[in-house]
Amino acid sequence: MPHLFGKRIRLRAAERTDIDIFCRWINDPEVTENLALVFPMSLAQEEHWYEDMLKKPPSHHVLVIDIQAENQSDTWQAIGNCGFFNVDWRNRSAEIGIMIGEKQHWNKGYGTEAMHVLIKHGFETLNLHRVWLQVYSKNPRGIRSYEKAGLTREGLFRQAHYQHGKYYDVHIMSILRDEWHLSDASDDQH
Ligand SMILES: CC(C)(COP(=O)(O)OP(=O)(O)OC[C@H]1O[C@@H](n2cnc3c(N)ncnc32)[C@H](O)[C@@H]1OP(=O)(O)O)[C@@H](O)C(=O)NCCC(=O)NCCS
């Protein structure tokens, strides 16, 4: 699959050489605070996950979010990953997952931009009809970022997530292809 380019980011296929950095990100409690990952992850487990992923169709492969290294337009740095999973081709619906693993790059708009690029790919290339995700109620940064990317809150799983000894609601957010085409986000700048 060719790289997918945004204004400041690109999405590229994940290589075996990315496994180390993925492992670092998913063992960082601040990064996983709002992810459905509750067990420490070994390098061997992550390698196993990667090999399993390669057996799946490319539409289910995770994509690395790269930004250009400062003052070096030809050098890219991995800051996170994202991708579609639970792709339902009959209903043309897919769930999105995203993680910016380099915490110093939170709140700089990269997550929103990666979502734009992924959603555009979903609607304009994969011919999806609906893109959706789940986000914990205790993750206002995620909710705000997805709203900026054009998703709306469509419902709630009440007290569906247990963590820190209590239950949290889980929001379901989505965007339909018609809404994407009507939004500014579908302009070709992304
Ligand atoms: C969630 C995540 C993908 C968002 O990406 P990001 O690049 O950090 O987010 P953006 O900079 O695009 O947007 C963040 C927005 O949330 C706002 N925000 C940040 N913290 C906030 C808070 N506590 N309350 C309300 N809004 C908040 C920011 O101000 C910004 O909005 P603005 O542009 O209107 O000012 C990223 O932070 C991440 O991967 N976090 C760790 C893993 C995770 O939570 N993954 C998502 C699981 S559903």
pLDDT of residue 165: 97
Q: What is the 3-state secondary structure (H, E, C) of the chain?
A: CCCEECCCEEEEECCHHHHHHHHHHHCCHHHHCCCCCCCCCCHHHHHHHHHHHHCCCHHHCCEEEEEECCCCCCCEEEEEEEEEEEEECCCCEEEEEEEECCHHHCCCCHHHHHHHHHHHHHHHCCCCCEEEEEEECCCHHHHHHHHHCCCEEEEEEEEEEEECCEEEEEEEEEEEHHHHHHCHHHCCCC
Is the CB of 98 within 6 Å of ligand 1? yes
pLDDT of residue 69: 82
Distance 90 CA to ligand 1 centre (A): 32
Is the CB of 144 within 6 Å of ligand 1? yes
Domain boundaries, the chain: 4-186
pLDDT of residue 186: 72
| Atom 44, ligand 1: residue with shortest CA distance | 34
- One digit per residue, the tens of pLDDT, for the chain of length 190 reads 789 999 999 999 999 999 999 999 999 999 999 999 999 999 999 999 999 999 999 999 999 999 998 778 789 999 999 999 999 999 999 999 999 999 999 999 999 999 999 999 999 999 999 999 999 999 999 999 999 999 999 999 999 999 999 999 999 999 999 999 887 667 654 4
Is the CB of 106 within 6 Å of ligand 1? yes
Is the CB of 59 within 6 Å of ligand 1? no
pLDDT of residue 190: 44
How far, rounded to the nearest angstrom, does the alpha carbon of residue 39 sit from its chain's CA centroid? 20
Rounded Cα distance, 27 and 25, in Å? 5
| Atom 19, ligand 1: residue with shortest CA distance | 141
Global pTM reads: 0.96
Distance 141 CA to ligand 1 centre (A): 3
Residue 97, phi-psi category: left (phi > 0), alpha (psi -120 to 50), beta (remainder):
beta
Distance 109 CA to ligand 1 centre (A): 8
The crossing angle, in degrees rounded to 10, of helices 43-54 and 19-26 is: 120
Distance 28 CA to ligand 1 centre (A): 17
Cβ-contact 16, 23 below 8 angstroms: no
Substitution site in 144, 173, 174 for ligand 1 pocket (most atoms within 8 Å of beta carbon):
144
Q: Which CATH class is domain 4-186?
A: alpha beta
Q: Which two tokens stand for residue 23?
A: 């492992």
CB atoms within 10 A of CB 53: 14
